Amino acid sequence: TNRDLESLRDKPCETLDGFRLPLWVNTGLMADVTRSLEQGAEGVGLYRTEVPFLLRERFPSEEEQRQIYRNQLEAFAPRPVTMRTLDVGGDKALPYFPIEEDNPFLGWRGIRVTLDHPEIFLSQVRAMLKANDGLDNLRIMLPMVSNVSELDEALSLIHRCHREVQQEGVSSALPPIGVMVEVPAAVYQARALARRVDFLSVGSNDLTQYLLAVDRNNSRVADLYHSFHPAVLQALHHVAAAARGEGKQVSICGELAGDPLAAVLLLAMGYDVLSMNATSLPRVKKALRSVNRTESAALLEEIMALEDGNAIHRRLESALVQRG
């Protein structure tokens, strides 16, 4: 019942055998903040900075951005807030920055846009670093990275911003920096990417779309958008192992993290953090509090041997029903 879920708020997300798996939230609007704190979120795994950009008629100035980001960081401090640099293109268009393409999901989106327009990237990162002054709960995350040179270029711009704001009196250290793994190429380069940054975070919405070649917004092929497709699960498993191999944190911030059945698998795969919409958080916490981590490892092994997404889904459902 709702009351049972509410009483979970102040309880830790901990398995029966005492393993802690922090649950973070995805935010964009200020309204998400209240809801997230009400549900007991331990951090923000994805703050979609394009949301405030979408609510305006022109690009917000560096100072306007600084205020927006400061509000977000203050609301959650001392909990970490992962701010993703502007992720426009694909299905997200700014009215004052139109992009016309035949294949927008394979086109100019995410980091590709901001590396071509460093002035957008620089003012955004400077605003983030200034907003972080004295709070130190910022993390920066880069969307749609598909090769290491994009990452190296973005990192050098971030370092430059940090030197600049330090000269302007900002005392905060360089924040943790991470890469989203949401393009199949990034799955296979996960180790090389992880070596260069502090954390990886899987964007399972785009990763599923690109692995399965299924438009995430096209209802005609929605049946083929299968989050438990063995290829998706293998990719998720591989990314977690790669990050751990480099001693780096690995999280997931796509919708999949908010599915209690998936959460049990992600626990077994070794994900360090699950980030989801605030509304999913109580149900995921309830599921994780009902399982054993050691047993979930056995379940994962069994699941990874199955060859069909529907069979995987059925097996997960029966495993969780047994646990109530």
d(CA 88, CA 239): 24
User: Which CB sits closer to Mg ion, 165 or 274?
Assistant: 274
Contact of residue 32 among ligand PEP, Mg ion, none (CB under 5-8 Å per partner type): none
d(CA 61, CA 123): 8
Of residues 141, 124, 20, 132, the one with CA closest to residue 76: 132
Q: Which of 137, 204, 227, 280 binds ligand PEP (CB under 6 A)?
A: 204
Identify any residues that bridge with 44 across adjacent strands, giving them in sequence order.
25, 81
Q: Which long-range contacts link 36-41 to residues 24+ away (Cβ below 8 Å)?
A: 36/76, 36/278, 36/281, 37/75, 37/76, 38/9, 38/278, 39/9, 39/278, 39/279, 39/281, 39/282, 40/8, 40/9, 40/10, 40/281, 40/285, 41/76, 41/79, 41/278, 41/281
Given a contact cutoff of 8 angstroms between Cβ atoms, the answer to whether 201 and 178 are in contact is yes
Number of residues that bind ligand PEP (CB under 6 A): 10
Contact track, Mg ion, 174-203, x by CB under 5 A: --------x--------------------x
CB of 253 to ligand PEP, least distance (A): 5
Contact track, ligand PEP, 47-86, x by CB under 6 A: -x--------------------------------------
Alpha-carbon distances of 274 from 20, 44, 253, 321, rounded to whole Å: 11, 10, 6, 22
User: Phi, psi (5° rounding) for residue 277?
Assistant: -65, 145
CB of 78 to ligand PEP, least distance (A): 24
Alpha-carbon distances of 195 from 122, 177, 191, 200, rounded to whole Å: 23, 11, 6, 10
User: Which CB sits closer to ligand PEP, 42 or 87?
Assistant: 87
Distance, CA of 162 to chain centre: 23
Q: Does 46 interact with ligand PEP (rule: CB under 6 A)?
A: yes
Contact track, ligand PEP, 91-110, x by CB under 6 A: --------------------
User: Which CB sits closer to ligand PEP, 88 or 138?
Assistant: 88
User: Which CB sits closer to Mg ion, 73 or 145?
Assistant: 145
CB of 205 to ligand PEP, least distance (A): 3
Given a contact cutoff of 8 angstroms between Cβ atoms, the answer to whether 101 and 132 are in contact is no
Q: Which of 42, 150, 206, 272 binds Mg ion (CB under 5 A)?
A: 206
User: Which CB sits closer to Mg ion, 38 or 91?
Assistant: 91
CB of 134 to ligand PEP, least distance (A): 29
Kindly indicate which of the ranges 1-9, 204-212, 257-265, 315-323 contains the residues binding Mg ion, using the contact rule CB under 5 A: 204-212
The token pair at 4 is: 């049972």
Q: Nearest 5 degrees, angle CA 303-CA 204-CA 291? A: 45
User: Which CB sits closer to Mg ion, 150 or 182?
Assistant: 182
Q: Does 32 interact with ligand PEP (rule: CB under 6 A)?
A: no
Contact positions with ligand PEP (CB under 6 A) in 246-305:
253-254
d(CA 234, CA 226): 13
Q: Does 206 interact with ligand PEP (rule: CB under 6 A)?
A: yes
Interface positions with ligand PEP (CB under 6 A)? 46, 48, 87, 182, 203-206, 253-254
Interface positions with Mg ion (CB under 5 A)? 182, 203, 206
